[in-house]
């Protein structure tokens, strides 16, 4: 018998059960091919169908315009912290970065190796509890791009606007919010995401890049890290993460069955509202995040008493909820409620929080 639990992990995280069931059904033999997708040559006709179809579905679901390329890469979102400056710091050699949390801080630090990097704004002084507003931004007119991290997985904050940049392309880390709601891809120069939250298993990184940004990179950029080579090779300069790409295809079918990205948004808003409404009325639990930047994907909260936080995490684990401990750099708790977390998971969590509150305050 199965004993699957509500897994609130920040990533890798829950996948839709129907996706896992389909993968299990196709595990030993994929659609009459005589083998598992894991065993297939990436150059085979069957696999070519899988990767092309996955790209086609992603283009449909995200309404990706034809003048954007889609790449299926490896190295996590972290490798993009290096690839982005190596490939894009080629016109003026300058870029702006907004540091709104831990990952954008890492991206900023890495980019400095490759050009003149300017800190457009940071919310470090208030412990990353808000996203810098347009008025707080100090943007350069001649930047090759502006880098943002659209959803801060660790702090539980998200943008409620897209910066006005007067034509400077926006590069966005969407690792923890991609596919959670509709986005206008045409407003971005480049979108990237590690797959292990809303898209599938770890090992795959999706990059969506405007064709005008695909050009000659900085000298000595390793061949595998060149967008132009990856575009030319259709993500197959070397062996791509074949199985993860196949699972992304299954996840996209599931997103489609949920009503596409507008259906996902509705589903995610309901889950997040249940949790935030409870937090707002709670005597015991609170969140630091300002209302207008609350993430629908990662909900951070705490009691204000470290021992009580630890007790809560311990009791939730005993109840069959996993990974509710906040990131080690922040403390407290964090519930990651990505696309695949069902409403019942959030309802069960809120029910337990109410019981805990009654017993401990």
- Report the residue closest to ligand PMP, judged by CB: 76
339 binds ligand PMP (CB under 6 A): no
134 is in an annotated binding site: no
DSSP-H helix ranges across 287-342: 306-318
- Binding-site string for ligand PMP from residue 179 to residue 198, where x marks contact by CB under 6 A and - marks none: ---------------x----
**Residue whose CB is less far from ligand PMP, 200 or 303:** 200
**Residue whose CB is less far from ligand PMP, 159 or 301:** 159
* 3-state DSSP assignment of residue 58: helix
122 is in an annotated binding site: no
- Binding-site string for ligand PMP from residue 150 to residue 169, where x marks contact by CB under 6 A and - marks none: ---x----------------
CA distance 309 to 213: 46
78 is in an annotated binding site: yes
* Residue list 40-59, contact with ligand PMP (CB under 6 A): none
Looking up tokens 């695949």 gives 340
In this structure, the chain runs to a length of: 361
103 binds ligand PMP (CB under 6 A): yes
200 binds ligand PMP (CB under 6 A): no
203 binds ligand PMP (CB under 6 A): no
For 318, phi then psi, to 5°, come to: -65, -30
Compute the least distance from the CB of residue 88 to ligand PMP, in Å.
17
CA distance 142 to 156: 31
Number of residues that bind ligand PMP (CB under 6 A): 12
Are the C-beta atoms of residues 279 and 304 closer than 8 Å to each other? no
253 is in an annotated binding site: no
Compute the least distance from the CB of residue 127 to ligand PMP, in Å.
17
Are the C-beta atoms of residues 254 and 267 closer than 8 Å to each other? no
Helix axis angle, 242-257 to 260-281, nearest 10°: 80
Compute the least distance from the CB of residue 210 to ligand PMP, in Å.
20
**Residue whose CB is less far from ligand PMP, 110 or 173:** 173
By CB under 6 A, name the one of 87, 123, 158, 175 that touches ligand PMP. Answer: 175
Are the C-beta atoms of residues 100 and 122 closer than 8 Å to each other? yes
> Which tokens is 195 given?
């797959």
205 is in an annotated binding site: no
Torsion-angle region of residue 53: left (phi > 0), alpha (psi -120 to 50) or beta?
alpha
Compute the least distance from the CB of residue 170 to ligand PMP, in Å.
15
101 closest CA partner among 135, 28, 150, 63 = 150
Over the range 116-149, which residues count as b (16 or more CB within 10 Å of their CB) and which as e?
Answer: ebeebbbbeeeebebbbeeeebebbeebbbbbbb
218 is in an annotated binding site: no
**Residue whose CB is less far from ligand PMP, 282 or 322:** 322
**Residue whose CB is less far from ligand PMP, 86 or 350:** 86
Q: Is the dihedral of CA 334, 337, 341, 346 positive or negative?
A: positive
239 is in an annotated binding site: yes
149 binds ligand PMP (CB under 6 A): yes
- Annotated binding residues for pyridoxal 5'-phosphate, as ranges? 77-78, 103, 153, 173, 196, 238-239
- Annotated binding residues, as ranges? 43, 77-78, 103, 153, 173, 196, 238-239
Chain residues binding ligand PMP by CB under 6 A are 10-11, 76-78, 103, 149, 153, 173, 175-176, 194
């Amino acid at each position: 018998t199965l004993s699957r639990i509500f897994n609130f992990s920040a990533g890798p995280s829950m996948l839709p059960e129907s996706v896992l069931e389909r993968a299990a059904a196709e595990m030993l033999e994929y659609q009459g091919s005589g083998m598992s997708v894991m065993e297939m040559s990436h150059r085979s006709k069957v696999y070519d169908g899988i990767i092309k179809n996955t790209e086609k579905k992603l283009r449909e679901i995200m309404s990706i315009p034809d003048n954007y390329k889609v790449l299926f890469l490896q190295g996590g979102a972290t490798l993009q912290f290096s690839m982005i400056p190596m490939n894009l710091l080629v016109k003026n050699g300058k870029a702006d970065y907004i540091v709104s949390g831990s990952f954008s801080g890492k991206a900023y630090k890495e980019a400095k190796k490759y050009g003149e990097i300017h800190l457009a704004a940071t919310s470090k002084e208030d412990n990353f509890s808000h996203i810098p507003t347009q008025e707080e931004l100090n943007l350069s007119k001649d930047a090759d791009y502006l880098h943002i991290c659209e959803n801060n997985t660790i702090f539980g904050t998200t943008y409620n606007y897209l910066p006005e940049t007067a034509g400077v392309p926006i590069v966005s880390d969407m690792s923890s919010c991609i596919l959670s709601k509709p986005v206008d891809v045409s407003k971005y120069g480049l979108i990237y995401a590690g797959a292990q939250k809303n898209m599938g298993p770890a090992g795959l990184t999706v990059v969506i890049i405007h064709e005008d940004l695909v050009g000659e990179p900085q000298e000595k950029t390793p061949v595998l890290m060149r967008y132009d080579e990856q575009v030319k090779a259709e993500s197959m300069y070397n062996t791509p993460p074949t199985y993860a790409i196949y699972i992304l295809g299954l996840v996209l079918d599931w997103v489609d069955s949920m009503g596409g990205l507008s259906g996902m948004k509705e589903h995610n808003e309901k889950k997040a509202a249940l949790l935030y409404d409870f937090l707002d009325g709670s005597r015991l639990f609170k969140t630091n995040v300002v209302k207008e930047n609350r993430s629908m994907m990662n909900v951070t909260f705490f009691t204000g008493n470290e021992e009580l936080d630890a007790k809560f995490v311990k009791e939730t684990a005993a109840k069959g909820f996993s990974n509710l401990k906040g990131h080690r750099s922040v403390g407290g708790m964090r519930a990651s409620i990505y696309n695949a977390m069902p409403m019942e998971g959030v309802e069960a969590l809120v029910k337990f929080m109410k019981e805990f509150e009654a017993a401990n305050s």
